[in-house]
Amino acid sequence: MSEGTVTGATPTSNRVLAGMSAVGLAGVVLTYFVEGPARFWADWLIWFVFLVVVALGALFVVALQHVTGSVWSVPLRRAPERVAALTPWLIPVAAVALFSLPVLFSWAHPGASHVRAIVEKSAWLNYPFFITRLVICLVVWVASYRILVGKSVQQDTSRDPHITVMLRRFSPVFMVLLGLTITSFAFDWVSSLEAVWYSDIFGVYLFAGAALSGLAASTLACIYLMRRDRLTKVTADHLYNLGGLLFGFTVFWGYIAFSQYLLQWYANMPEEVFWYKQRTVGGMLIVFIILGIGHYFVPFLALMTEDAKKKWKRLRWVSVWLLFMQIIDLYWMIFPLLGKNMNLGWPELAFALFFLSGGVLVVKRAMEKGSDVPVGDPFLEAGLEFHL
Amino acid sequence: MAESTFGVLGIFKSGADLLKAVPKVKEKGFASLEAYTPYPVHGIDKAIGIKKSKLGILVFIMGTIGAVSAFLFQWWTSAVSYPLRIGGKPYNSWEAWVPAMFEVTVLFATFTAGLGMLFIFNKLPFFGSPILKSKAIAATTRDRFALLIQPTGGLLDVEAARAALLEAGGTDIEILPAPDLTPPGPGWWARNLAGIALVCVAVGFGTMWAIKIFPTVKPMVEMENQAKLDAQKADGFFKDGHGMQLPPVGTVPRHYMPILAKSPDQAGKDLVNPLPVTAKVLQRGKAGYDIHCAVCHGYMGRGKPLLDKFYKASPANLQSSTVMNAPDGYIYFVISKGKGSMPSYEADISSKDRWAIIHYVRALQRSLHAKEEDLK
């Protein structure tokens, strides 16, 4: 297979991305001093969670292929593996995000000791345990990344089929760890912002978004490589399967999102329903409607037919759209915390510029190293012969 | 060949052999092909040129119709035709309708897919393709792959087809005769419909019998068995053992102030209707009147009861000059304490509603005794 261009000098496009990221960083820093810490931390949290869901989603896609023993996906498995290169970068972003705790999180406010519902949760929501859980999550994720992706890259040179066996045994373990860590992460970093609120299904909700975002980012990476003739033997039939997974997880997200909403709307319990009330008034109602239509109906209809899943152009815009919807979803969940100050403006653009160009740069640099397909995987040939 | 054939069939050992044979057969000019395989062979439908089924679009349309009709049905029943407030939610609660919309969508879509496949695309009620009577069929459900050449338009050159299959590597060539496509006669329909009817009747009686013999289990009895006070039953919760309790001594329920006057005449002197005459008060009065009073006094207050054939009582004619000249307080006393065989309505109608009913009675009286100046 064609090797990626390994050159000493940094390509121009990378320098442009680094420059854009630097401009974004200036805007990010400026936000803190001009718009105040609350706005800054809300934006930082959105992008922190977004990076987590994309990186974990990509790891989930990789592990899913090993768990199911898929052969068709072997030729394009490097795409999610390279998107997962974002995982180690979660550590610095998370370290900075820890400083948002006293600003944004209602259980960390001084007045929280007067709220009974928060006091009852204080065994879980306290600084030492919270930070311990974050560290455990990060250790699990980065270690799993090192195993799932590191071993796969190692196989390129060693050609050792035992690595495939080992990855197929490790992946189910990772799935369990992922389920536990992403649930804890979702409770900690998104739902504990409003510590009174609770929703048992919330971890699944964030996981549904993560699986979808990981698939969308992987599809984009795959199409990026195909358009540059680096995955020449990957056909429309392979894309069809990616599109099928995107379609399936779109429905999964819609099902979970609506289940959570319907139950809380029906029961109408004050400690639950206020969360939705805050998010369906004024401008947030528009965001809520956009989310329902854009995150579910648009990709559902766009990917419904057989042909749609085979067209790379269609898959590309649907993937970009789904990633955009994931950000809107996080904005909708996190920004109402700011009360009247939840407008969109230049700070959000600066954050988007910083994190998007930075994230793309990380993935792009990962694509410059090593082979574009897992050349050492014994199932590669069978995977290339895949037909619908 | 004079005799019409369904097709010529050849056997291959693997899916790959089958895939390789298809272009060779196509080269010979045979365009109408069909494959029979024990499991899906990737790429075979593209190779033999199967057109995309139209079933998908049909299923989509019917699914959409299902979703829309379920929405409209629930909207009409719960917001238009018979609005019921449930759980304090608005009548127009689309959230509550989504599960049923989803179910009906799936119902319409799957029925369209199943029945559409059977009747439109598999052309029921013709049962059984000739392939089912071939020698090859048993093997194709195990480990053999069959390719069938079918006539394109007119008749098939059987010998050429056999040669093409042999050349492509096929074995056990079989010539399948054309099926009998005469539509089923009335006897067939009668037999089948009678059979279905018989099954329905048997299942119906069977269910009835089963329910009679076996004790039926009540589903979801939690709400019925909850710990609660029952107004008409004994209950250990209170000391006197009654579920229903009298108000504590010296208390009065809100909106049910007791009447202090001792006689209707005294009430007529002491009491003044506190309510203004507005459309809202008259509406309220009409509602109360129609519920409590009209049964005996009649909707126009003429004193002709709706049930006079069964009850021998003679209710007061509210249009009589006695009642017309009686002050509001007098009527208020009669409603509150009763008169003759009329019982007291003190416990049933709030004092405010009693006054509203009196306004309405006055309006009824005026409607039948309009004066000339009322026209101005």
Contacting residues for A298 by C-beta, under 8 A, at least 6 apart:
A318, A321
| Residues of chain B contacting residue A305, judged by C-beta atoms under 8 Å apart | 56
Whole-model pTM?
Answer: 0.75
Between CA B132 and CA B128 the distance in angstroms is 6
- In 3D, which of A207, A195, A172 has the Cα closest to residue A69? A172
What 3-state DSSP class applies to A367?
A: helix
Q: Write down the pLDDT at residue B127.
A: 67
- Confirm whether A1 is domain-assigned: no
Q: What percent of chain B has pLDDT over 70?
A: 95
- Confirm whether A101 is domain-assigned: yes
Helix or strand holding residue A326 (H, E): helix A312-334
Residue type, A160: D
Asked if pLDDT for residue A214 goes beyond 70, the answer is: yes
- Confirm whether A373 is domain-assigned: no
Query: Which tens digits make up the pLDDT trace of A309-336?
Result: 999 999 999 999 999 999 999 999 999 9
B88 CB near a chain A CB, below 8 Å?
Answer: yes
Average pLDDT of the segment spanning B147-158: 83
Q: Write down the pLDDT at residue A334.
A: 93
Burial call B81-105: b when 16+ CB within 10 Å, e when fewer: eeeeeeeeeeeebeebbbeebeebb
Supply φ then ψ for residue A171, to 5 degrees. -60, -45
| Residue B303 and residue B318 in contact, taking contact as beta carbons nearer than 8 Å | yes
- The minimal CB distance from A262 to the residues B46, B87, B98 is found for B98
Give the distance between the most distant pair of CA atoms in chain A. 64
Contacting residues for A36 by C-beta, under 8 A, at least 6 apart:
A341
Q: What percent of chain B has pLDDT over 90?
A: 33
Contacting residues for B316 by C-beta, under 8 A, at least 6 apart:
B297, B303, B323, B339, B342
| Residue B146 and residue B136 in contact, taking contact as beta carbons nearer than 8 Å | yes
**Angstrom distances, CA of residue A207 to CA of A173, A182, A270:** 17, 7, 26
Q: CA triplet A160, A165, A167: central angle to 5 degrees?
A: 100
Interface contact flag, A262 B87, Cβ < 8 Å: no
Please give, rounded to a whole number of angstroms, the shortest distance from the CA of B46 to a CA of chain A: 9
- Confirm whether A17 is domain-assigned: yes
Instruction: Pick B264-375's CATH classification: 1.20.120.1080, 3.40.50.300, 1.10.760.10, 1.20.59.20.
Output: 1.10.760.10
Q: Regarding predicted confidence, which is higher, B183 or A178?
A: A178
Residue type, A279: R
Asked if pLDDT for residue B122 goes beyond 50, the answer is: yes
Q: Which residues pair with B242 in a beta bridge?
A: B234
Asked if pLDDT for residue A16 goes beyond 60, the answer is: yes
> Which chain A residue is nearest to residue B102, measuring alpha carbons?
A255
- The minimal CB distance from B43 to the residues A262, A265, A387 is found for A387
Q: CA triplet B256, B260, B265: central angle to 5 degrees?
A: 115
The total number of structural domains in chain A stands at: 1
Q: Indicate the range of A185-194, A368-377, B152-161 predicted with least confidence.
A: B152-161
Query: Which tens digits make up the pLDDT trace of B181-229?
Result: 777 789 989 999 999 999 999 999 999 898 888 877 777 777 777 788 8
Q: Which residues pair with B8 in a beta bridge?
A: B149, B175
pLDDT interval class at A1 (50, 70, 90): very low
How many Cα atoms within 13 Å fall on the side-chain side of residue A55? 28
Interface contact flag, B87 A386, Cβ < 8 Å: no
Contacting residues for A117 by C-beta, under 8 A, at least 6 apart:
A195, A196, A271
| H runs (alpha helix) in chain B | 15-27, 44-48, 55-75, 94-115, 137-140, 158-167, 186-213, 264-270, 279-288, 294-297, 321-325, 328-337, 351-368
Q: A255 is written with which tokens?
A: 């099902």
Which strands sit side by side in the sheet containing B171-177, from one edge to the other? B33-36, B145-149, B5-12, B171-177
Average pLDDT of the segment spanning B348-369: 92
Average pLDDT, chain B: 87
Between CA A167 and CA A155 the distance in angstroms is 11
Asked if pLDDT for residue A112 goes beyond 90, the answer is: no
Asked if pLDDT for residue A369 goes beyond 60, the answer is: yes
Kindly tell me the sign of the dihedral angle through the C-alpha atoms of B218, B219, B220, B223: negative
Contacting residues for A61 by C-beta, under 8 A, at least 6 apart:
A80, A211, A214, A215, A218, A245
Within its chain, how far is the Cα of A277 from the centroid? 26
- In 3D, which of B155, B173, B58, B42 has the Cα closest to residue B116? B58
Between CA B181 and CA A165 the distance in angstroms is 56
Q: Write down the pLDDT at residue B123.
A: 67
Between CA B275 and CA B347 the distance in angstroms is 20
Burial call A60-94: b when 16+ CB within 10 Å, e when fewer: bbbbbbbbeeebbbbbbbbbbbbbbbbbebbeebb
pLDDT interval class at B308 (50, 70, 90): low
Q: Is the ipTM of this complex over 0.85?
A: no
Q: Write down the pLDDT at residue A388.
A: 73
B52 CB near a chain A CB, below 8 Å?
Answer: yes
Q: Regarding predicted confidence, which is higher, A255 or B244?
A: A255
User: For residue B51, how many other CB atoms are within 10 A of its CB?
Assistant: 6
Q: Indicate the range of A223-227, A302-306, B210-214, B354-358 predicted with least confidence.
A: B210-214
| Residues of chain A contacting residue B98, judged by C-beta atoms under 8 Å apart | 258, 262
Q: Write down the pLDDT at residue B46.
A: 83
Asked if pLDDT for residue A44 goes beyond 80, the answer is: yes
A293 CB near a chain B CB, below 8 Å?
Answer: no
Q: B160 is written with which tokens?
A: 């050429």
Domain boundaries, chain B: 1-182, 183-246, 264-375
Q: Regarding predicted confidence, which is higher, A109 or A181?
A: A181
- Confirm whether A295 is domain-assigned: yes
| Residues of chain A contacting residue B46, judged by C-beta atoms under 8 Å apart | 387-388
- Confirm whether A378 is domain-assigned: no
Asked if pLDDT for residue A227 goes beyond 70, the answer is: yes
Contacting residues for B264 by C-beta, under 8 A, at least 6 apart:
B326, B329, B330, B333, B334, B337, B339
Average pLDDT, chain A: 92
Between CA A188 and CA A349 the distance in angstroms is 26
pLDDT interval class at A86 (50, 70, 90): very high
Q: Indicate the range of A19-28, A131-140, B216-225 predicted with least confidence.
A: B216-225
Q: B51 is written with which tokens?
A: 């057109």
- Confirm whether A379 is domain-assigned: no
pLDDT interval class at A304 (50, 70, 90): very high
B23 CB near a chain A CB, below 8 Å?
Answer: no
Between CA B369 and CA B319 the distance in angstroms is 8
Interface contact flag, A387 B99, Cβ < 8 Å: no
| Residue A54 and residue A206 in contact, taking contact as beta carbons nearer than 8 Å | no
| Residues of chain B contacting residue A262, judged by C-beta atoms under 8 Å apart | 95-96, 98-99
Within its chain, how far is the Cα of B16 from the centroid? 52
Residue A36's domain comprises 11-364
Average pLDDT of the segment spanning B293-310: 81
**Angstrom distances, CA of residue A108 to CA of A48, A190, A331, B306:** 19, 14, 21, 71
Average pLDDT of the segment spanning A93-100: 95
> Which chain B residue is nearest to residue A388, measuring alpha carbons?
B42
Q: Write down the pLDDT at residue B155.
A: 77
Q: How close are the terminal C-alpha atoms of chain A, in Å?
A: 23
Interface contact flag, A387 B42, Cβ < 8 Å: yes
Asked if pLDDT for residue B126 goes beyond 70, the answer is: no
Q: Regarding predicted confidence, which is higher, B227 or B342?
A: B342
- In 3D, which of A119, A12, A61, A56 has the Cα closest to residue A326? A56
Q: What percent of chain A has pLDDT over 70?
A: 97
Q: Write down the pLDDT at residue B121.
A: 72
Q: B255 is written with which tokens?
A: 């909106």
Find where tokens 């990378």 sit: A14
Asked if pLDDT for residue B1 goes beyond 70, the answer is: no
Find where tokens 């369904």 sit: B6
A388 CB near a chain B CB, below 8 Å?
Answer: yes
| Residues of chain B contacting residue A387, judged by C-beta atoms under 8 Å apart | 42-43, 46
Q: Write down the pLDDT at residue A7.
A: 46
- Confirm whether A377 is domain-assigned: no
